[in-house]
Amino acid sequence: MVNKLALGIAVTAIPLAVGIAAILGLFGATGGKLLPDVRPDRQTPAVTEVKLVIRNVNGTDRLFNVGDAANANPNPQMFSCLACTLKLTITNNGQNTHTIVVDGTGASTGPILPGETRSLQFSYDDYATLTYRSVEHPDQIQGTIEIMRIS
């Protein structure tokens, strides 16, 4: 009778102790916290990097996608998915210093001198159309970033 009782306690207590230890984080998996961001369906959102270049066209600095060698689409409209991180890497091959900002986000490259490359990044948690611009020359560089659902 004693052996059956000891076996029953061992069979029940060991899995129960392992389960409690896992929940409390004694194995180090979640640090003892069951937060929503550790769930598999809440993985870190993607980071999209867009490489841009400022070029001088007919005496005016304009922003282009790096691959737009024909200068066909100045100050392009850009897109980002909701809650994803958008990183803009900008090389200034123009004549003027530009500080590119995304209004409403606090994201800024800081001053980009001719010949320099700088980046900014942000994520936005609501559907919106945001404006980016050059602080020094908004008449030359200004466009929109569309925050949308990408399926």
Q: CA angle, corner 140, sides to 64 and 129, nearest 5?
A: 70
- pLDDT one-digit tens code per residue, 17-32: 666 665 555 444 444 4
Distance CA 80, CA 66 (A): 18
What pLDDT digit, counting tens, does each position of 94-150 carry?
A: 999 999 999 999 999 999 999 999 999 999 989 999 999 999 999 999 999 999 877
Structure tokens given for 101: 């900002």
* CA–CA distance, 137 with 76 (Å, rounded to integer): 16
Residue 121: what pLDDT?
94
Is CATH 2.60.40.10 the right assignment for the domain spanning 44-148?
no
Q: Give the tokens for residue 48.
A: 């999209």
pTM here is 0.69
Would you kindly state where each structural domain of the chain is located, as residue ranges? 2-38, 44-148
